[in-house]
Amino acid sequence: MGRFFRALVRASAMGLMLALAATLVGPSHVAAAPLMPTPDPDPFYAAPPDLADRANGDVLKMREKPWHVYFPTSRVFEVLYRSTDSEDKPIAANTTYILPSNHAPDAPLLSYQHIINALGTKCKVASKLYTSDPMNLILEMPGLNLALARGWAVALPDHLGPRMSYGAAKLGGQLTLDAIRAVKNVPEFMVTNSKVGLGGYSGGGMATAWAAALAGTYAPELPIIGSAYGGVPMNLTEMARALGSQPHIAFGLAAIALLGLEREYPDRIDVASQLNGYGRWLADFVINGCTNEAMFVGFYKSAGQLTDNPNYMDTPAVWQLLDENSLELFPGIPNAPVFEWHSPIDGLIPVPAIDHTLGRYCAAGVDLFTMLTPTPDHLSAAPLGMFQALDWLDKKFQNLPTARSC
């Protein structure tokens, strides 16, 4: 249990998964259609016909969800809203909104981005809250309940989007910002004039960090007081080069990241036509699955087993795509303070990329605090920083001074 669970959560940081995005893509194959998920049967998620005419953050639908045991004194809602994908096309995305009973009008709003390792629509945060397999959610519940106890409203966006584009990093930032716009547009939620904080770890931290970096240009009107994120892969290209394509215990997560990237960039990545018989079997097994399916089918497999193409590492377009989804290479700067934490000897995430990115933020004048956790491990760093991050956000909400690294 211990070794398997640690490997699963480590891989959720997405480094291993994105290593595979530099494989299985060759110029000599005829492109095939991306392997898309089965649409969610719930008609709530269907986009309205006038989607293209709506603005980002416009509320398309909303509904109140059943009482939830995780949040016994709160009301839970779901909101469908308009956003934009990585190719500037309109999409209908969703977020879960939690309103605690002690929330005063315009009290703080926390947008928290969960770790989501999946290709299937059944694995959305909104869905997994009401299933029997909420493992990743359980890991982050203590922090969320602390926020709710403080009277903060909480938004939980499904930051992989309607196609479950696992591996698309920049998309997560856009969806996060538009989800905040959406909940602010609902008077019943009592956050119209609320200050906003962002939070997340690992893959969820990546969506958070992208939202922070994009906010100044994508959603400059949002009153974001700060972003708290940890364990963020800042450079997907360097991570991919370092990890390569050797067999790995969590290779299944790498495979679903590749398939998710093809969903988001169908004109730039050709995955489906590159798969051999085994690769197609694996894809069929995980295309609508969650973390458990991916871990099972990819146990100690490698990229070379999925394709017969010997030139799978020779496609510059894929490296360019990874560059575009790497925060270290993105010129945008957060327009609000940042609390960042990570292990100084993280075996999965390239720490120099974190240092370089934060150094650039400091040089640009960002109010930044970095916390190094006393552990050489990606998993254990998560809880060691979460509660300090929430305390930091609490001070920012109250306009109190906080420690600074620069």
Label residue 15 by pLDDT band (50, 70, 90). Answer: very low
Q: Are 24 and 303 in contact (CB under 8 A)?
A: yes
Q: Are 290 and 118 in contact (CB under 8 A)?
A: yes
Q: Report which of residues 196 and 383 the model is more confident about.
A: 196
Label residue 239 by pLDDT band (50, 70, 90). Answer: confident
pLDDT of residue 293: 87
How much of the chain exceeds pLDDT 90, in percent? 60
From the CB of residue 361, how many other CB atoms can be counted at a distance below 10 Å? 22
pLDDT of residue 152: 98
Q: What is the DSSP letter of 103?
A: P
pTM for this entry: 0.91
Question: Taking 50 as the threshold, does the pLDDT of residue 9 lie above it?
Answer: no
Amino acid at 181: R
Q: Helices 251-264 and 277-286: crossing angle, nearest 10°?
A: 80
Q: Which of the residue ranges 43-57, 211-225, 339-353 would you say has the lowest mean pLDDT?
A: 339-353
d(CA 80, CA 367): 33
Q: Which two tokens stand for residue 64?
A: 């109140």
Mean per-residue pLDDT, 278-293: 90
Sign of CA dihedral 185, 137, 355, 240: negative
Q: Are 91 and 160 in contact (CB under 8 A)?
A: no
* pLDDT single digits (tens) 303-345: 778 888 766 556 777 788 889 999 999 999 999 999 999 988 8
Nearest CA to 246 out of 327, 300, 299 is that of 300
E-assigned strand segments in 306-366: 338-342
Label residue 134 by pLDDT band (50, 70, 90). Answer: low
Question: Taking 90 as the threshold, does the pLDDT of residue 208 lie above it?
Answer: yes
Mean per-residue pLDDT, 5-9: 41
Q: Helices 251-264 and 2-11: crossing angle, nearest 10°?
A: 20
pLDDT of residue 135: 58
- Return the CATH class of domain 1-406: alpha beta
127 Cβ contact partners less than 8 Å away, ≥ 6 residues apart: 40, 121
Locate the domains of the chain by residue range. Answer: 1-406
Question: Taking 80 as the threshold, does the pLDDT of residue 39 lie above it?
Answer: yes
Label residue 210 by pLDDT band (50, 70, 90). Answer: very high
Amino acid at 106: D
Question: Taking 80 as the threshold, does the pLDDT of residue 353 lie above it?
Answer: yes
pLDDT of residue 245: 65
Q: Which two tokens stand for residue 58?
A: 């416009």
* pLDDT single digits (tens) 382-404: 888 999 999 999 999 999 999 99
pLDDT of residue 93: 98
